Amino acid sequence: MIYVIVNALLYIVLLLCYLRSNRKNILGIILIVLYTTVAIMAIPRYLISIELLHDLDDVTLEPFLYLFPVFIMFTWYFCKVDLCNLTNIYTDGRWNKIYILMFVYILSTIVVFYLSIGTVVLNISSGEWAEAKEASEELEVAFNYNSFIEQLFVVFNSSIKIFMVTISFFMLIIGKRKYLALIVLMCFVLSQSMLALMNGSRGLFLIIFMSIMVPYLIFFKKIPVRLVKQINRVIIVYLVIFVNYFLIVTVSRFGDLDSNYSFYEEYNGITSLLSYAGMSFLHWNVSVYPITDFGYGIYGCEMLFGNDAFVNFTSGTRWITKFYTFVGSIYVDIGPYLTFVMALFVLFFSLNMLKLKRYSIEGVCFFSFVYLKLFIGGFSWAENYVIEFALNLIVYLFLKTSFSITKTKSKISCR
The answer on pLDDT for 209 being more than 50 is yes
Indicate whether 270 and 348 sit together in one domain: yes
Is pLDDT larger for residue 368 or for residue 238?
368
- What per-residue confidence (pLDDT) applies to 61? 93
**For 243-267, what is the mean pLDDT?**
63
Indicate whether 319 and 347 sit together in one domain: yes
- What per-residue confidence (pLDDT) applies to 362? 93
Among 234, 254, 274, the domain-final residue is 254
Asked if 324 contacts 380 with a C-beta cutoff of 8 angstroms, the reply is yes
Indicate whether 232 and 96 sit together in one domain: yes
Terminal Cα-to-Cα distance of the chain (whole angstroms): 49
Answer whether residue 390 is part of any domain: no
Indicate whether 127 and 202 sit together in one domain: yes
Indicate whether 220 and 143 sit together in one domain: yes
Counting the structural domains of the chain, the total is: 2
Indicate whether 60 and 153 sit together in one domain: no
Q: Predicted confidence band at 139 (pLDDT cuts at 50, 70, 90)?
A: very low
Asked if 109 contacts 153 with a C-beta cutoff of 8 angstroms, the reply is no
Q: Predicted confidence band at 140 (pLDDT cuts at 50, 70, 90)?
A: very low
How far apart, in Å, are the Cα atoms of 176 and each of 210, 211, 219, 331, 359? Answer: 24, 21, 15, 43, 19
Q: What angle do CA 387, 31, 243 make, to 5 degrees?
A: 85
The contacts of residue 145 (CB under 8 Å, 6+ apart) are 115, 151, 154
User: Among residues of the chain, what percentage have pLDDT more than 90?
Assistant: 41
Which range of residues forms the domain containing residue 70? Answer: 1-90+264-363
Q: Which of 31-45, 131-145, 173-187, 380-394 has the lowest mean pLDDT?
A: 131-145
Indicate whether 84 and 185 sit together in one domain: no
CA atoms within 13 A on the CB side of 360: 16
Indicate whether 58 and 159 sit together in one domain: no
Tally of helices (H runs) and strands (E runs) in the chain: 17, 2
Indicate whether 100 and 131 sit together in one domain: yes
Mean pLDDT across the chain: 83
Answer whether residue 413 is part of any domain: no
